[in-house]
Amino acid sequence: MKRKILAALLASTMVLSLVGCGGGSSETPAAPAADSGAATEEAAPAADGGAAEEAAPAADAAAGGEETLTVWCWDPAFNLNAMYEAEKVYQKDHPNFKLDVIETPWDDIQTKLSTAAVSGDLSTLPDIFLMQDNAFQKNVIAFPDVCMDLTNSGIDYSQFAAGKTAYSVIDGKNYGVPFDNGAVVACYRTDVLEQAGLTIDDFTDITFDQYIENGKKVLDATGKPLISMQAGECDLIMMMLQSAGASLFNEDGTANIVNNETLKTVMETYKSLKDAGVLTEVNSWDEYVGDFVSGNVAGTINGCWIMASIQTAEDQKGNWAITNMPSLVGASGATNYSNNGGSSWAVTTKCANPDLACDFLAKTFAGSTELYDNILPSGALATWAPAGDSDAYGAPNDFFGGDAVSAKIVDFATKVPSNITGAYYYEARNAVATAITNYINGSDLATELQTAETTVNSYMQQ
């Protein structure tokens, strides 16, 4: 199994559409990460009791020794900025501490990671690096000697959203420190809704059946669909699937497509949205963003990072609001919450001072409201629950009608169901994207799901 995953990973390193949504990576946002989780919620335990106390000796262990850590991550304004701010926070108690942060696009990180692991020479790797959430399963399984097991590192995982934490949990062990928030938000132009006699409350805690009925009212009153999505992609499909805690894989890693009743419901719901005219499809990411910025549609549903694009339309300030996404009708475990996008920090086994690396992460990304307050202006929202209680997160956002959207999104993240990413997540995602396109165009759903599962199985058998 490991050999097959390794072969697939090496063959597709430059092909997989791994996306840094929320972090503005170099990849196209057409295929966001984090459409599903990496493990069941039960498989994402908190670190052993007293985790914070266990980390305390690390600072003493590092004292008097080398206190420099190297870090790889992408996007200067987002991820690199977060690391620099974390450095400042940690330096208050560790004045000799330094970070050597090297800007490295995600696709380059994946290539360097694969090359080092295959060669058996990990000396080229940094102490800490940022990994796409949906890449954790494949990389840890294919390269088990690269990432440090952080389960008993002193990081308190109970304070992170379980759905986010689950991405970096493999065989019950924690390999990542959750970072940016990809909780799904439904965003709407309140002035457009008003023309149809609706408010944001009419879109809060609703089902997709109610969403379609509301969408018809908006379409009749304004001529505008509620949302658009990029044709040939399945962002919304995957968001819907995770909202019910469902996945394209079973716990044993086998494909779960043909007999996946939740997936069938998702596909039928998506087609209903399009048939009703509530959803329209466009050909590119730029068209997708342009639709809601220019007012061609009344809103969008996506990871919370999409709000940065919405706010580029400065003339619309005060005319936007966010709420949770609609829930699936008839799906077991259906909720109004999901995730789309995000990354987590990993510590390499090559790290010369793992105690220092773990203490640094425990005291910053897993322990500092100050850090999250400082990086909030750059759009970096936490999945670390205590951050949501700070004054900065509770501040009103004038663009979104004066709502405390940051605190709301952190709360959404805590309610996202965990699911199973699977080592072949991107292959499965692409197969389902083809299936939904063909289904919309008239093909038989059962046939398309069978083809998708056969395609995924062929990857797994290579």
The CATH number of whichever domain residue 317 belongs to comes to 3.40.190.10
Residues 311 and 449 in one domain: yes
Residue 305: inside a domain? yes
Residue 148: inside a domain? yes
Residue 234: inside a domain? yes
Residues 65 and 162 in one domain: yes
Residues 216 and 364 in one domain: no
Number of structural domains in the chain = 2
Tell me what pLDDT residue 163 has: 86
Residues 295 and 366 in one domain: no
Beta-strand pair 279-282/227-230: parallel
Rounded Cα gap, residues 337 and 334, in angstroms: 9
- Residue 293: φ, ψ to 5°: -70, -35
Residues 192 and 177 in one domain: no
Residues 443 and 430 in one domain: yes
Residues 59 and 158 in one domain: yes
Residue 446: inside a domain? yes
pLDDT digits (tens, 9 = 90+) for 39-86: 333 333 333 333 333 333 344 444 445 699 999 999 898 899 999 999
Residue 14: inside a domain? yes
Other C-beta atoms lying within 10 Å of the C-beta of residue 390:
18
In one-letter notation, the amino acid at residue 301 is I
Residue 320: inside a domain? yes
325, 185 Cβ separation under 8 angstroms = yes
- Residue 206: φ, ψ to 5°: -110, 170
Residue 419: inside a domain? no
Q: Which domain holds residue 17?
A: 2-182+341-414
Under-50 pLDDT residues of the chain: 11-64
Tell me what pLDDT residue 9 has: 55
Residue 194: inside a domain? yes
Residue in 28, 24, 30 with CA at minimum distance from that of residue 76: 24
Residues 77 and 14 in one domain: yes
In one-letter notation, the amino acid at residue 123 is S
Residues 438 and 292 in one domain: yes
Chain centroid, CA 443 distance in Å: 31
Residues 104 and 205 in one domain: no
- Residue 259: φ, ψ to 5°: -100, 20
Residues 109 and 189 in one domain: no
Residues 352 and 326 in one domain: no
Rounded Cα gap, residues 254 and 261, in angstroms: 16
Rounded Cα gap, residues 108 and 105, in angstroms: 5
